[in-house]
């Protein structure tokens, strides 16, 4: 089986949902790209994230090269103006520690770093960037159907 972009995204979403559902912040709604959007009138806090694949490069030589794809998950921790930033920073620290240098089934994260702090339309937003990578063989090079 070939591990690709869709597999990496599925693995990350599954891990993030499980992490959040077992966190001390499970009362805060979490959203991902291409999913439902938050109703800003009904929330005091929310978290959203997006997964981006950035580069691929060849890692080995020969007839069956392995490629490495890198990317990142960008988290946005948002709180209504006036609710304070302590909870946002605490949520960000929780995710940072939970996803730091984590080895999943076929994917690895490296060291997360804080992103920008921003204010937008009555919301304070803290960000976190979690880099990751995974290795895979191109589909054209998959030999699972070869006979010995």
Give the mean model confidence (pLDDT) for residues 59-78: 89
Percent of the chain whose predicted confidence (pLDDT) is above 70: 91
Reply yes or no on whether the pLDDT at 133 is more than 70.
yes
Q: What is the pLDDT of residue 2?
A: 61
The span from the CA of 9 to the CA of 71, in Å, is 10
Structural domain includes residue 118: yes
DSSP letter string, 68-95: EEEEEEEEEEEEETTS-SHHHHHHHHHH
Reply yes or no on whether the pLDDT at 141 is more than 90.
no
CATH at residue 103: 3.30.2000.20
Per-residue confidence band for 142, with pLDDT thresholds at 50, 70 and 90: very low
Structural domain includes residue 24: yes
Structural domain includes residue 76: yes
- What crossing angle do the helices spanning 86-99 and 5-21 adopt, rounded to 10°? 130
Structural domain includes residue 146: no
User: 78, 92 in Cβ contact below 8 A?
Assistant: no
* Ramachandran sector of residue 82 (left: φ over 0; alpha: ψ -120 to 50; beta: rest): left
Q: What is the pLDDT of residue 61?
A: 84
* Residue found under tokens 């976190």: 128
User: 70, 138 in Cβ contact below 8 A?
Assistant: no
Range of the domain at 121: 5-141
Structural domain includes residue 60: yes
The span from the CA of 56 to the CA of 52, in Å, is 12
Structural domain includes residue 147: no
The token duo for 88 is 């946002």
Which pTM was predicted? 0.85
The overall average pLDDT reported for the chain is 87
Q: What is the pLDDT of residue 110?
A: 97
Q: What is the pLDDT of residue 1?
A: 53
Structural domain includes residue 100: yes
Structural domain includes residue 75: yes
The span from the CA of 46 to the CA of 20, in Å, is 12
Q: What is the pLDDT of residue 36?
A: 86
Nearest to 33 by CA among 47, 50, 9: 50
69-114 pLDDT per residue, tens:
999 999 999 999 999 899 999 999 999 999 999 998 889 999 999 9
Structurally, the chain folds into a number of domains equal to 1
């Amino acid at each position: 089986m070939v591990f690709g972009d869709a597999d990496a995204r599925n693995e990350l979403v599954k891990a993030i949902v499980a992490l959040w559902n077992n966190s001390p912040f499970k009362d805060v709604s979490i959203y991902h790209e291409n999913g439902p959007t938050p109703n800003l009138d009904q929330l005091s806090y929310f978290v959203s994230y997006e997964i981006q694949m950035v580069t691929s490069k060849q890692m080995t030589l020969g007839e069956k090269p392995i490629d490495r794809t890198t990317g990142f998950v960008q988290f946005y921790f948002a709180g209504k103006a006036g609710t304070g930033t302590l909870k946002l920073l605490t949520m960000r620290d929780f995710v940072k520690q939970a996803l730091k240098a984590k080895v999943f089934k076929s994917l690895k994260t490296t060291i997360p770093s804080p992103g920008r702090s921003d204010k937008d339309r009555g919301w304070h937003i803290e960000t976190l960037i979690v880099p990751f990578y995974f290795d895979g063989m191109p589909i054209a090079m998959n030999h699972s159907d070869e006979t010995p």
